Structure 1
Amino acid sequence: MPRGAKPSGDDETFEDTGSGAAEVVPKQCSALRKGEMCMIKDKPCKIVEMSTSKTGKHGHAKVHLVGIDIFDNKKLEDICPSTHNMKVPNVKTLNYQLLTIEDGFLQLLDDNGAQKEDLAVPAGDLGDEITTKYDEGKELTITVITACGKEKVMGYKTITT
């Protein structure tokens, strides 16, 4: 484009960002509470413990946060000045009806009738219970938690009619 020329509307490109919902939002560290979510070391965590130190001779009060990663249950810690912002993940809990289990993956149906087939049967006791109930012919609702582009099966309920 020549120098000083104004761009025409045809030159502009915009990227589709999906639903427009941010994966994280800022929140002042002192406003966080036990039981809420925040990002610790770039992982979405549930705060299980927090304490605030008094202001020192120079500087701010510090908040010591202890959280449990919602995806792998690892304990993480962080210290942040109380006046600074922390990232808070946008966490969604969704329920799906289990259609089938095929090749180690759950085939799920949401409330709008859309199918989801990209979640593996969870490892451990939860996966064993889901598989056993499915094999017994029970109808199940699967609870899935979503945050920061990751998903995890958190539980299930037997549908009773």
Structure 2
Amino acid sequence: MIPRSSLPVLATCEYSTTLFAPLTLLFIMADIEDTHFDTGDSGASVTYPMQCSALRKNGFVMLKSRPCKIVEMSTSKTGKHGHAKVHLVGLDIFSGKKYEDICPSTHNMDVPFVKREDYQLTDISDDGYLCLMSDNGELREDLKLPDGDLGSQLKSEYDAGKELLCTVLKSCGEECVIAIKTNTALDK
């Protein structure tokens, strides 16, 4: 933010009558070059709350601040001095790392918004970035070739001339290719 004292004053005028208190109008101007507008997200949350007892296997939940797919879930009985407990085991949807948590069944857990979208692979750059085209024809070149077996398979099938669809998973500000499939309708 630009301090008011550093802005040039264009004009000051006073208007006063017996009916009105003095009115001072101040016109200021800032140089456009000095103004910087930050870009950012819309401020919308990347998660929503859900009661722990309402979570289900194969659903999503935030465990240790990571978006995870629930692979195991068990509930213990209510004890003398408390609520039933839910034991959750989840796999990070991006890294595959296993996370666990135990929480009361009445506790609210954060559930991530997860978006899955298919893109047609049009090119792989020399530095390992994928050129992907959406259904509406927009190109994006901001995702890297995935590591491991998926990346190797994607590269070899693309080099073999196959038309591929890449499934991109997006959640919590992260995106990555999680699966590929042959687009048989486009194969020659």
What TM-score do the two structures reach when normalised by structure 1?
0.85
SS at the partner of 1:98? strand
Alpha-carbon offset, residue 55 of structure 1? 1.5
In structure 2, the partner of 1:55 is 78
Matched, 1:131 2:163: no
In structure 2, the partner of 1:154 is 178
SS at the partner of 1:122? coil
Larger Rg: 2
The aligned amino acid for 1:154 is I
The aligned amino acid for 2:61 is C
Matched, 1:94 2:94: no
What CA RMSD, in Å, does the superposition of the two structures yield over aligned residues?
Answer: 1.6
Alpha-carbon offset, residue 16 of structure 1? 7.0
In structure 1, the partner of 2:167 is 143
Q: Distance in 2 between matches of 1:85 and 1:70?
A: 21
1:7-86 matched pairs, under 5 angstroms? 17-18=41-42, 22-86=45-109
Q: Distance in 1 between matches of 2:149 and 2:89?
A: 26
The aligned amino acid for 2:152 is D
In structure 1, the partner of 2:32 is none
Q: Distance in 1 between matches of 2:105 and 2:139?
A: 44
Say how many residue pairs are matched.
146
Percent identical pairs in the alignment equals 61
The aligned amino acid for 2:86 is V
Question: Which residues of structure 1 form unaligned runs of 5+?
Answer: 1-14
Q: Distance in 1 between matches of 2:71 and 2:157?
A: 32
Q: Distance in 2 between matches of 1:44 and 1:142?
A: 20
Alpha-carbon offset, residue 118 of structure 1? 0.9
Matched, 1:111 2:138: no
Alpha-carbon offset, residue 125 of structure 1? 1.2
Alpha-carbon offset, residue 34 of structure 1? 1.0
Alpha-carbon offset, residue 22 of structure 1? 3.3
Alpha-carbon offset, residue 108 of structure 1? 0.6
- Determine which structure has greater relative contact order: mean sequence separation of CA pairs < 8 Å that are 6+ residues apart, divided by chain length: 1
Question: Which residues of structure 2 form unaligned runs of 5+?
Answer: 1-38
Structure 1 stretches of at least 4 aligned residues deviating more than 4 Å after TM superposition: none
The aligned amino acid for 2:58 is G
Change in 2 beyond 3 A, CA 1:106/1:87: same
